[in-house]
Structure 1
Amino acid sequence: MLILQGVTYTHPNRDLLFSDIQLTVNKHDKIALTGNNGAGKSTLLKIMAGELQPASGTVNASAVPYYLPQLFGQFNGLTIAQALHIDQQLQALQAILSGDTSEQNYTLLNDDWGIEERCNEALAYWQLHGLSLAAPIDTLSGGQKTKVFLAGMMIHQPAIVLLDEPSNHLDAAGRNKLYSYIQHTNQTLVVVSHDRTLLNLMNTVCELSKRGITVYGGNYDFYREQKTLEQDALNEDVRSKEKALRKAKEIERESMERQQKLDARGKRRQEKAGLPTISMKTFKNNAEKSTARMKEVHADKIDAIAQELTHLRQTLPDAGKMRIGFNNTSLHKGKILATATNINFSYNGQPLWSTPLDFQLVSGNRLAIKGQNGSGKTTLIQLLLGTLQPTSGTLERAAVKAIYVDQEYSLVDNTRSVYEQAQQYNTGALQEHEIKNRLSRFLFTREHWNKCCAALSGGEKMRLMLCCLTIDTNAPDIIILDEPTNNLDIQNMEILTGAINEYEGTLLVVSHDAYFLQQINVTQSLELEAAT
């Protein structure tokens, strides 16, 4: 069991991240922790793990949690055994087997005679056959590092496991291993992830926001259904309040017109009756006071409704405020864009693919490029872009405009400000205020315009890149996405999904996220197999 009571965290600069977090994780619970980028999911997970201390509040755990971080740079310079905190146990076991029966070795081993066998089994399960525990962490690929720490779950067999983006860098086979493990384990799990297939294996979703923790008793699909109902209700409240504001303004106008007619009619009667000037002035003053009181009453009503409407609009999710508006490609559907005939590419004289590739890319295709890590997906992209040439076979490419979106969103120039980046794509000579209006549509308001792109998060860079593509009047004929969801939270993934579904050109996608591929309506796939 894991209990958080009144947990508050402030950054070193004293900015408040979240406050008064109340959460109980029961034995065998499988909880998904969701929230927008910057909500503090990873920070909260570190507090649960004991790696960070809250500003206030308490964390009580029935067992020491096992924590898999999102980033592994802090382990550079360590071996796998050291990073997993099993190096001393393994050394003690080897010393005992070599005849050193000192009390210190028995204390370090702690009667765990099966640790070496358990390590080998865990590494084998996570497809790390033959990997030495003495290997340096910084020599491993991103996927291998993730698998090493996933293997640690099986080695240590903890009661409580905390996972931060565990499917990042895993290929399809690795993800399936992870899904299977999560389905069958009886460990208590708290998982931060944007992998919606993984999230659907959880039995509870906890959403972290400025309001604290909101618990949804179900998997991710159930959570989305509830959020949709909440969104629909909120949109209806906004529409109702907008209608009430229009009605209040209409009533004010009609009341003022009616009062003015009554005043004018009364004035004519007074003049007709030939009343003295002092009486006429008294009547005028009374009429003006009555009109002013009426204006004040209506102004108060309108102001109250307007404030309520502003508050409701502020609670709308950011994605609900966005407008995409892609320009359409001028290519007709069915145009042949690329034809590959028996192509292969060699590294150090060795062909990359076990079987040469034969395929045709046609305008309007939505194609997934699939394969395990190291199968040459990025190489194929470079061949299609013309930055590499095949070492055998022929590849014919039509002259088209292609946009390559890599995992780091390199289309965004980190040396420029947000506004300067948008201006680089201003092929239609838009005025400054029009560029800023476009940026605002993508949630880049006044305080963002002069912000350096280097300071943007992955999700913000993705939104800025999409904004630039809508500013450019020359729409891309092909968009190539290379693991586009690795650095995005769920909200920004949904923004990307919506944008891609508006795009009518040709789409090539490298992604191990089956849910994402389904959501963007990918209908074809090209499977790559590396030569052994």
Structure 2
Amino acid sequence: MSTQHPAVVLDGITLLWPDGAVALSGLDAAFNPGRTGLVGTNGAGKSTLLRVVAGELTPAAGSVSVRGQVRYLPQHITLQADATVADLLGVRDRLDALRAIESGDADPRHFDALADDWGVEERARAALGTAGLPDLDLDRRVATLSGGETVATALTGIGLSGAEIALLDEPTNNLDREARRRLYDLVAGWRGTLVVASHDLALLDLMDETAELRDGSLTVYGGPYSAFREHVEREQAAAEQALSTAEQKLRTEKRQRVEAQTKLARRQRYARTDYENKRRPKTIMKLRAGEAEVSAGKLRGELDEKVDRARELRDRTAERVRRDPQVKIDLPAPELPTGRRVAELHSSGSTIVVQGPERLALTGRNGAGKTQLVETLVGPRAARQEPYGTVLITRIGHLPQRLDHLDDAATILETVRSAQPEADPEEVRATLAGFGFRGDVVHRRIGDVSGGERFRVALATVLLLDPPIQLLVLDEPTNNLDIATVEQVVAALGAYRGALIVISHDDAFLDRLSIDTYVHLENGRLSASRRLR
């Protein structure tokens, strides 16, 4: 662990959402120079914490201290539709100043903005080339880029900035294999302070330290994520064993108390019988009865005290055992016949047919057009011939990559109810509870939830559709999801009996889905390969 002074210190940070809900309460945290992986379940507050450090959110109490310039890659950067490539690179002001000067405008403010960086455009284009994005125009808007191109460009801008502190929130979202490799190289060679919130195991294993945000507290472990997991697993195994021992002790004390009370009751019955039968002098019997009552009362107190101590030990031990809220995703049963033709994808005179409950994975590099293809298929123009194909059914559930169709101002409950206004309110609440949204959490605004929570809300809206969907289209579904939720999504999709089309660069995720057909998109051409069973 670094012996240097922390680069980022948070002291007693309390943050409230606009509705008064507590996001962070009295949080103390510190990040050392070097690379730190920030982990925690969806909704733990990782993105919120990074936004506080970046200065995007102002805490109601506490202070933030940073040693150096900060650059921040937000989780929802793909939603910044009007930003340009130059904005993502952080060179917009200097580029505009350079262009103004070159056009003959000698206003001194342009020279101040340029700060003698006359090669800014060339450096920006060279950096894009190194990042595998040589053809991107600096004035292109994010709305016209793929998710992977957007993230890769923003990461390039952080490298260009020379900032001492970089904050990356789910930086591998949407990235293809080559872009991920470049990100890993960037991280491995980082010389400043880097804080990365991620669920990408390969990326997290490049970290020097792992910081876990859990139950409002930040705990830092020396070493990468794999070492952290081993530590937690050993700790939890010991905690589970200690809890089992404490529970056994409590059961023993309770049993012994019952046995002792039974014996006392039996003795008292005998004493009453002796008294009633006048087998001993009355005075002696009264004295002995009084002594017995005192002795019995003392024993009961001792027994109760032992049970209470055992219960307190059990409760303290139980606090050491992790009991994270479980997400339970049950996808609807669509009753899709095996022979039903669901969709057709066309390319160079050949046709790829999705038939019955088939599982198709669409692959290709960032910018190849995968998202455009599925949006063409399932959008308003669906059910008629398109350049890439036709959807032949109408009961479709589509979760887009950007998830920008959700209204940030609406609450979780309002969003899910709007998908099926006639649905039973109790059914809606039960569905949300299964997705981990319980109690007053359902009244949080969509704009205030994490990326993983945003995905769960979007998927919940699909679940309430009636009749159930027959085709589910997922575009990068593992973006922002914590490891436990990915497990639940895999389990849910494994039991789903409808057709599935999924875009993902997560090879491990695709392998676990038992994909039937892999369709690769390159240079506008589709090629298919069947999975070997």
Question: Which of the five TM-score ranges fits, normalised by the shorter chain?
Answer: 0.7 to 0.9
* 1:358 aligned residue: 352
Q: Which moved more, 1:190-199 or 1:377-386?
A: 377-386
Aligned counterpart for 1:56 among listed residues 44, 51, 62: 62
Deviation at 1:279, TM superposition (A): 5.0
The 1-side partners of 2:418 and 2:374 are apart by 32
C-alpha contact (below 8 Å) 1:200/1:219 kept by paired residues: yes
Say if 1:203 and 1:362 are closer, same or farther in 2 by CA, change over 3 A. farther
Say if 1:6 and 1:89 are closer, same or farther in 2 by CA, change over 3 A. closer
Deviations 1:12-39 (A, max 9, x none): 459471435342422xx22211123343
The 1-side partners of 2:38 and 2:201 are apart by 12
Say if 1:20 and 1:173 are closer, same or farther in 2 by CA, change over 3 A. same
* 1:370 aligned residue: 363
Say if 1:52 and 1:460 are closer, same or farther in 2 by CA, change over 3 A. closer
The 1-side partners of 2:298 and 2:276 are apart by 25
| Residues 287-436 of structure 1 aligned to structure 2 (within 5 Å) | 287-313=292-318, 316-319=321-324, 322=326, 324=328, 338=341, 343-344=345-346, 353=347, 356-358=350-352, 367-371=360-364, 372-373=366-367, 375-376=369-370, 379=373, 388=383, 408=403
Deviation at 1:501, TM superposition (A): 5.9
The 2-side partners of 1:195 and 1:186 are apart by 21
TM-score by length of 2: 0.73
C-alpha contact (below 8 Å) 1:78/1:137 kept by paired residues: yes
The 2-side partners of 1:87 and 1:437 are apart by 47
The 2-side partners of 1:98 and 1:394 are apart by 47
The 2-side partners of 1:395 and 1:216 are apart by 52
Q: What SS does the aligned partner of 1:297 have?
A: helix
The 2-side partners of 1:91 and 1:378 are apart by 31
Percent identical:
29
Say if 1:394 and 1:324 are closer, same or farther in 2 by CA, change over 3 A. closer
* 1:484 aligned residue: 477
Aligned counterpart for 1:25 among listed residues 11, 28, 32: 32
The 2-side partners of 1:464 and 1:107 are apart by 46
| 2:521 matches 1:528 | yes
* 2:8 aligned residue: 4
C-alpha contact (below 8 Å) 1:366/1:506 kept by paired residues: yes
C-alpha contact (below 8 Å) 2:250/2:310 kept by paired residues: yes
The 2-side partners of 1:418 and 1:315 are apart by 35
Q: What SS does the aligned partner of 1:43 have?
A: helix
Deviation at 1:121, TM superposition (A): 0.9
Q: Which moved more, 1:117-126 or 1:184-193?
A: 184-193
| 2:138 matches 1:133 | yes
Q: What SS does the aligned partner of 1:11 have?
A: strand
The 1-side partners of 2:255 and 2:421 are apart by 42
The 2-side partners of 1:189 and 1:277 are apart by 87
C-alpha contact (below 8 Å) 1:4/1:21 kept by paired residues: no
The 2-side partners of 1:94 and 1:490 are apart by 46
Say if 1:378 and 1:114 are closer, same or farther in 2 by CA, change over 3 A. closer
| 2:165 matches 1:153 | no
In the alignment, structure 2 segments of 5+ residues that lack a partner are 526-533
Deviations 1:264-312 (A, max 9, x none): 3344444555335565455444444433433333333323333443454
The 1-side partners of 2:235 and 2:488 are apart by 18
In the alignment, structure 1 segments of 5+ residues that lack a partner are 345-352, 427-431
Q: What SS does the aligned partner of 1:358 have?
A: strand
TM-score by length of 1: 0.73
C-alpha contact (below 8 Å) 1:123/1:148 kept by paired residues: yes
* 1:231 aligned residue: 236
